[in-house]
Homo-oligomer: A and B are copies of this chain.
Amino acid sequence: MPAYRFVHDVMLRDCEPSGIVYLPRYFDMVHVVIENWLDEALDWPMGQVQGRDGLCLPFVDIKAEFPAPSRLGDRLTWDLTVRDIGRSSMQLRIMATTGADSRVSVAGTLVLSEAIALRTRRWPEQVVERVKDYMISPGSLAETALQ
């Protein structure tokens, strides 16, 4: 399965006093994975998306499961794949594991929008081409818990 991979060690700022990762921090990591993917894999850094291009990429929905908690120092390996890309929307799957242990499973929909009006916009052609490298066929996810 073609996936963009990003490794993050859990740091102080990620954890709450009980020692486990504070839920909103997982979504922050998800955003970091996406921004790095845009930059490194799609050659479309967020600074260009929001700057020169005057666009933004908000989520319209997201869901996540947390099979097991993570703790300070855990090495999280994040894998991003694309489940589908429409005219202006994109369905992502982003998962974090530590060794063989699943920690986070996220599915969400991004929508390309004009930054001012937030009207949807068609994906740039070259972005669609590059996204295809990270795309999996929708049917292949049938075995996973979160769809």
Contacts and interface: CB of A to CB of B under 8 A. Distances in A.
B60 A72 contact: no
A141 interface: no
A9 interface: yes
Interface of A: 9-13, 15-20, 22-25, 27-28, 30-32, 35, 39, 45-48, 50-51, 56, 58-67, 69, 71-74, 115, 118
Interface majority SS on A: helix, strand, loop or mixed?
A: mixed
A95 to B, nearest CB: 14
Contact of A11 (B46, B59, B71): B46
B23 A62 contact: yes
Q: Which 7 A-B pairs have the closest CB atoms?
A: A47-B73, A63-B63, A24-B27, A18-B56, A24-B28, A15-B17, A12-B16
